[in-house]
């Protein structure tokens, strides 16, 4: 069993920055690709970014590339999402995810979800 606990959400002004954390636990956590998805009200859940534990290879969704950075601390089993140049359209609940397939951007490939953390960007 894998557990994912997000933290770091909140309210920020447009142009600002925020860092989310995802603490992962479970014996098999290293076998998954760690990622972030987000879901805004009335919209489908959207892929944000993902990273591999073993070599830090990562990939990003088009809407956040160049503004968001994913990283991981293997010693702490924690994944981070550094968000910069935030826009009102980044407002959403952000979910930490453990994917079963590197390169995937699909919710159906997520094996475990965190509970989500709200990020609100004011204009």
pLDDT digits (tens, 9 = 90+) for 20-33: 999 999 988 999 99
Among residues 14, 3, 5, the alpha carbon closest in space to that of 119 is found at: 14
Query: What pLDDT is attached to residue 6?
Result: 96
pLDDT digits (tens, 9 = 90+) for 47-56: 999 999 888 8
Any idea what DSSP says for residue 75? G
Q: What is the DSSP letter of 101?
A: S
Q: What is the mean pLDDT of the segment spanning 59-86?
A: 96
CA-derived radius of gyration, the chain:
13
Q: How large is the average pLDDT for residues 2-28?
A: 96
pLDDT class of 123 with cuts at 50, 70, 90: very high
């Amino acid at each position: 069993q894998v557990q994912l606990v997000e933290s770091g959400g909140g309210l920020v002004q447009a142009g600002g920055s925020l860092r989310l954390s995802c603490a992962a636990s479970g014996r098999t956590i290293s076998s998954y690709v760690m990622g972030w998805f987000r879901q805004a009200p009335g919209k489908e859940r959207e892929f944000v970014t993902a990273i591999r534990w073993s070599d830090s290879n990562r990939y990003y969704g088009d809407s956040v590339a160049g503004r968001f950075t994913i990283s991981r601390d293997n010693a702490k089993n924690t994944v981070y999402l550094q968000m910069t140049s935030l826009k009102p359209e980044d407002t959403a609940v952000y979910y930490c995810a453990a994917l079963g397939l590197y390169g995937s951007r699909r919710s159906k490939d997520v094996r475990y979800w965190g509970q989500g953390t709200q990020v609100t960007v004011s204009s």
